[in-house]
Amino acid sequence: MSFQMKHNISSIISVLLLTVGLSSCTDDSMEPDNNTSNGKIAMEFTFSHPSQSRATETSFESGDVVGVFVSNSEKPLEIAGNTVNNEALTFTGSNWKSSRPLYWDAGTYNVYAYCPRLNEIGSITDLVFEVATDQRESQLSGLDGYESSDFLFASAKEISASPNPVDLKFRHIMSKISIRLIKGEDYEGDIPEKADVYIHNTVTESSIDLMVGVATKALRGSRKSIMARQTAPTVYSAIIVPQRLENRVPLIEVVMNGVSFLYESKFLFKPGMHHIVNLIVDKNPEQIKIEIGGEILDWN
Over residues 45-98, the pLDDT tens digits come to 999 988 664 444 446 888 899 999 999 999 999 999 999 999 999 999 889 999
> What's the sign of the alpha-carbon dihedral 113, 118, 120, 122?
negative
Buried b (16+ CB within 10 A) or exposed e, 47-67: bebbeeebbbeeebeeebebb
**Is pLDDT at 20 greater than 60 in this prediction?**
no
What does residue 188 show for φ and ψ, rounded to 5 degrees? -90, 135
pLDDT of residue 285: 81
Low-confidence winner among 140-144, 157-161, 281-285 (lowest mean pLDDT): 140-144
Please, what's the b/e burial string for 250-280 (b: 16 or more CB within 10 A of its CB; e: otherwise)? ebbbbebeeeebebeeebebbbbbbbbbebb
* pLDDT computed for residue 53 by the predictor: 47
- Write the CB contacts of 164 (distance below 8 Å, at least 6 apart in sequence): 44
Contact 178, 235 (CB under 8 A): yes
Q: If you average pLDDT over every residue of the chain, what do you get? A: 85
Q: Identify the pLDDT of residue 44.
A: 96
User: Could you report how far apart the first and last alpha carbons of the chain are, in Å?
Assistant: 87
Quick one: average pLDDT of 15-20? 39
**pLDDT over 70 at 36, yes or no:** no
- Answer whether 274's CB lies under 8 Å from 261's CB: no
Structural domains of the chain in order of their starting residue, each with its CATH number:
35-116+151-172 (2.60.40.2620), 175-296 (2.60.40.2630)
pLDDT of 10 higher than 70: no
Q: Does the pLDDT at position 199 exceed 70? A: yes
Average pLDDT over residues 94-106: 94
Find the mean pLDDT for residues 176-200.
93
pLDDT of residue 139: 57
Q: What is the pLDDT, as a whole number, of residue 18?
A: 38
Phi then psi for residue 44, to 5 deg, are -130, 145
pLDDT tens digit sequence for 144-186? 899 999 999 999 999 999 999 999 999 999 999 999 999 998 8
Residue 228, pLDDT > 50, answer: yes
Q: CA-to-CA distance for 254 and 212, rounded, in angstroms? A: 36
Residues 6+ apart with CB under 8 A from 247: 266
Res 13: pLDDT: 38
If one compares 37 and 118, the residue with the highest pLDDT of the two is 118
Q: How far apart are CA 40 and CA 297, in angstroms?
A: 39
What value does the mean pLDDT take over residues 126-139? 89
Are residues 174 and 131 in contact, defined by beta-carbon separation less than 8 angstroms? yes
pLDDT surpasses 70 at 40: yes
Res 263: pLDDT: 93
Q: Is it the case that residue 287 has pLDDT exceeding 90?
A: no
177, 55 contact by CB (below 8 A): no
